Each structure stands twice: as structure tokens, then as C-alpha cells.
Amino acid sequence: MKRLTILCLTIVLSMIASFAIADETYVCTYGQEERVITVVYQDQEAKVPCEVRYEKDGTTTMLWTAENEAGYCEQKAQDFVQKQREWGWICIDK
């Protein structure tokens, strides 16, 4: 029981930390459905390494990562947001 509590706490804290350093977040809606596209940085100042995360139906997937190329994650996220819009989703940046 104690081990499970520690595991849950670790997961929650890591999720909170990743949202705290997220620089770009887009929320896309289509009717009652919602998708979230987030650029997450390990180093806010350097902007790399970074990753693009996609949240859908309670599941988060990492779509792209970059270790050295500043701007890569931002461009991939914006391109994906544009695709969502083309598919009829309404996307706003948060």
C-alpha cells in the first residue's frame, strides 16, 4: 500500500512539473471532445531538449522530440494544430 502511494505521488508530481514548464499549449475542441497539444521544455531558457505531447481521451502520447534543434517542437506543434483545424477542430492557445 505504501509503495503504491509513493508511486502515485511520484507520477502526479512529475505531471505537475511537466505542465509547469510547458511553454506552448493548444486546446482543440470538436463538439464535446477535447484534445491538448503541448510543447514541453526541460530547459525553459534553451528551449531544447523539448517534446510535443498530445492528450486524447485521457491518454498522453509523445509525438515529437528534439535534443538540439531549437524551434523544431514549436513548428511541429503548430503544424499539427493546423491539421486539427483542417479537420474541423477549433484550437486556441493557452
b/e per residue, 60-93, with b = 16+ CB within 10 A? Answer: eeeebebeeeeebbbebbbebbeebeeeebebee
Predicted local distance difference test score (pLDDT) of residue 31: 97
Predicted local distance difference test score (pLDDT) of residue 87: 97
Predicted local distance difference test score (pLDDT) of residue 43: 83
What are the pLDDT tens digits along the chain (94 aa)? 555 444 333 443 344 444 445 479 999 999 999 999 999 998 888 889 999 999 999 999 999 999 999 999 999 999 999 999 999 999 999 8
